[in-house]
Chain A
Amino acid sequence: MSPKTLYDKIWDAHVAHEAEDGTCLLYIDRHLVHEVTSPQAFEGLRMAGRQVRRPDQTIAVPDHNVPTTAGRDDPKNMTEDSAIQVAALDKNAKDFGIHYYPVSDVRQGIVHIVGPEQGWTLPGMTVVCGDSHTATHGAFGALAHGIGTSEVEHVLATQTLIQKKSKNMKVEITGKLRPGVTAKDITLSVIGATGTAGGTGYVIEYCGEAIRDLSMEGRMTVCNMAIEGGARAGLIAPDEKTFEYCNGRPHAPKGAQWEAALNWWKTLYSDDDAHWDKVITLKGEDIAPVVTWGTSPEDVLPITANVPAPEDFQGGKVGAAKRSLEYMGLTSGTPLKEVEIDTVFIGSCTNGRIEDLRAAAAILKGKKVAVKRAMVVPGSGLVRAQAEEEGLADIFKEAGFEWRLAGCSMCLAMNPDQLQPGERCAATSNRNFEGRQGRGGRTHLMSPQMAAAAAVTGRLTDVRELM
């Protein structure tokens, strides 16, 4: 048998039909649904008189536009249009009989955090969601695609996705990370190296010692941003850590089924002599704590660097950098460490898990914030409960952080959590696009510990100086 990559193996196990031109129907094991990209899909089903083919494999949770403040299970406390979308999801989940975690449920949270937490996401599966950060689930060795609403409807109706196979790209991070360097710094550095289109047409497999050393939480952070590098999906081969994370989760297999699953999962790795269409290697030791300076996730620099000048770039990037710097209100040559911020946002599907909150709290313990506004939005109700149990919530609150309920919140600012024009935010989320966190808002992406450090000093900060 010819050698295969992990992607090849999962792909081959899910092709339900292949046409002569290579267009495939890829069978979907898990379909995650949220309130913003699904209403039109359900409406389409109704209009055509179609059913959800596998309601038992379809899971819905509202997350994108829900408020993260108390009292939100009463629709009166939501903006009218949010309430309409959430009510639509409530109704669609009920009418079509799919699994559902409403806002009143402690298991509610960001869809990409809930899936793994509840054991819906397992190695070797195909997972889709009408959200580009579905790539997160690749941390389990699951092939996870973000899809548009027409495709949501297609998966609801047929449990398949029309796909052509992507190319294979290997991103290897060798060696060990230095202190203060995290999964977020890895994933941002990779995008800094490849650009936001570097992964277009590829499925990336992340490997190497520095990746193996990461916890499942860290691996999810890395895969989460595969899409920011343009890739269709990001993958990490499952190993003992993966199996241990999955074991005992509510929807993970049990008993004999667990053993059978484990046997298959252990075959899910790229063969030694598998073919790669593209290979990128970074040394773990070379990765520094980084921040973004511009309005594209590829605008990454070590915190020790200075704000660049447009002339540092080439081609279309010269104009883009000029526009970014203007939008961000930054002057070329300023040390990044001197850039003052007024808001800190810790949360999102990139960095809203328990390990992220622990890392931020470790920096904040016994300190006070020096910014106008700082908020922590746990990725799920369960993460929130655990953080309260571990005393992390108290550390955040004593430092001056708002302690919120779970949701996407200021990651995309569809709920009331928004930046005002000109406000500058240290954010643990994944996108720094113009207006992403509120019209005119300025976003610097970084790790949770870097965001915590920035909260304490009121400017972009090298977390190593506080460790």
Chain B
Amino acid sequence: MDKFDTLTGIAAPMPLINIDTDMIIPKQFLKTIKRSGLGVNLFDEMRYDDDGNEIPEFVLNQPQYRETEILVAGDNFGCGSSREHAPWAIKDFGIRCVIAPSYADIFYNNCFKNGILPIALPQEQVDILMKDAEKGANARMTIDLESQTVTTSDGEVFSFEVDPFKKHCLMNGLDDIGLTMEKVSAIDNFEDQASQARPWV
């Protein structure tokens, strides 16, 4: 998995609440059996019209946001389906960090498995960052995972919380399965005991 330590980049504002996974990547793009190549269809139905032409008003189609690496959004980002195609599409587009007041649970977890950092901050702080993001390409935000801070283009600093284990894995690009495999004897023991206690399982 890709490591994440620091990131300085363009932030795009998406001041919508409940941005769901069907918006992030509509189902017609779930028929792939690969993880890559979904970036062109990120936010497909908001981004392209019925004939497949770009809708100029959509934020990621605007010249100053084409190189977006950070997304600032409203409450409950990523609600809906468990599809990991959502973070795959976000990452494939080049976005490595999302900032929102809150996230849906499964999406939040899926981000960490794909080298994306989802940052949750209080609404007032997200409002400030949203304003900063609206400045376009001149306003580069900096994310520092080690020190757990977001710095606006004006130098204002906000601290965020992140689970220490998830942070460790993200900073070191660690693969969950590899880590769990190291504890295989604990799983073996559990299985032995469980097969006695609940043999019907």
Contacts and interface: CB of A to CB of B under 8 A. Distances in A.
B82 A130 contact: yes
B15 A414 contact: no
A64 B30 CA distance: 10
Contacts, number: 183
Interface stretch (A204-212, A301-309, A315-323): A315-323
Interface stretch (A150-158, A370-378, A392-400): A150-158
Contact of A434 (B15, B45, B105, B180): B45
Interface in B1-52: 15-18, 20, 22-23, 26-28, 30-35, 45, 50
A431 B80 CA distance: 8
Contact of B200 (A36, A65, A150, A261): A261
Interface in A113-136: 122, 124-125, 130-132
B113 A434 contact: no
Given A84-B33, A85-B31, A197-B75, A148 B177 contact: no
A150 B35 CA distance: 10
Nearest to B36: A40
Interface string A332-373: 000000000000000000000000000000000000000000
A158 B187 contact: yes
Interface stretch (A21-29, A272-280, A453-461): A21-29
A149 interface: yes
Interface in A17-44: 17, 19, 21, 23, 25, 27, 29, 36-37, 39-40, 43
Interface stretch (A100-108, A252-260, A381-389): A252-260
Contacts of A193: none
A149 B50 CA distance: 30
Contacts of B76: 196-197, 200, 230
B189 to A, nearest CB: 8
Nearest to A27: B190
B186 A319 contact: no
- How many B residues touch the partner, as a band? 35 or more
Contacts of B190: 16-17, 27
Contacts of B165: 19, 21, 23
A432 to B, nearest CB: 10
Interface stretch (A67-75, A159-167, A214-222): A159-167
A219 B15 CA distance: 36
Nearest to B86: A148
A82 B31 contact: yes
B31 A414 contact: yes
A50 B82 CA distance: 24
Interface in B170-188: 176-177, 180-181, 183-184, 186-187
Contacts of B200: 122, 252-253, 257-258, 260-261
A195 to B, nearest CB: 8
B118 interface: no
Nearest to A317: B17
A439 B82 contact: no
A17 B183 contact: yes
B180 A154 contact: yes
B37 to A, nearest CB: 12
Contact of B201 (A23, A29, A130): A29
Contacts of B54: none
A70 B141 CA distance: 55
B82 A27 contact: no
B133 to A, nearest CB: 16
Nearest to A433: B22
Contacts of B114: 150
Contacts of A23: 163, 165
Contacts of A317: 17
Nearest to A17: B186
Nearest to B194: A27
Nearest to A408: B27
B50 A17 contact: no
B194 to A, nearest CB: 7
B157 interface: no
A157 B176 CA distance: 11
B110 interface: yes
A3 interface: no
A465 interface: no
A245 B105 CA distance: 31
B164 interface: yes
B191 interface: yes
A81 interface: yes
A123 to B, nearest CB: 11
A146 interface: yes
Nearest to B184: A158
B155 interface: no
A148 B183 contact: no
Given A196-B79, A200-B105, A157 B35 contact: no
A153 B80 CA distance: 21
Given A40-B34, A196-B79, 17 more contacts: A23-B163, A23-B165, A27-B187, A40-B35, A50-B177, A64-B30, A124-B198, A130-B84, A148-B87, A153-B177, A154-B176, A157-B181, A158-B187, A159-B187, A260-B200, A435-B26, A436-B27
Which 10 A/B pairs are nearest by Cβ-Cβ distance? A253-B200, A150-B113, A81-B31, A39-B33, A16-B190, A148-B110, A148-B84, A316-B17, A149-B84, A17-B186
Interface of B: 15-18, 20, 22-23, 26-28, 30-35, 45, 50, 74-76, 79-84, 87, 102-106, 109-110, 113-114, 163-165, 176-177, 180-181, 183-184, 186-187, 189-191, 194, 197-201
30 contacts: A13-B197, A16-B186, A21-B163, A27-B194, A36-B30, A40-B34, A65-B31, A84-B33, A131-B81, A132-B80, A132-B81, A148-B106, A154-B177, A154-B180, A157-B177, A158-B177, A162-B180, A227-B106, A230-B104, A260-B199, A260-B200, A261-B198, A296-B18, A319-B16, A320-B18, A413-B27, A414-B27, A434-B23, A435-B23, A435-B26
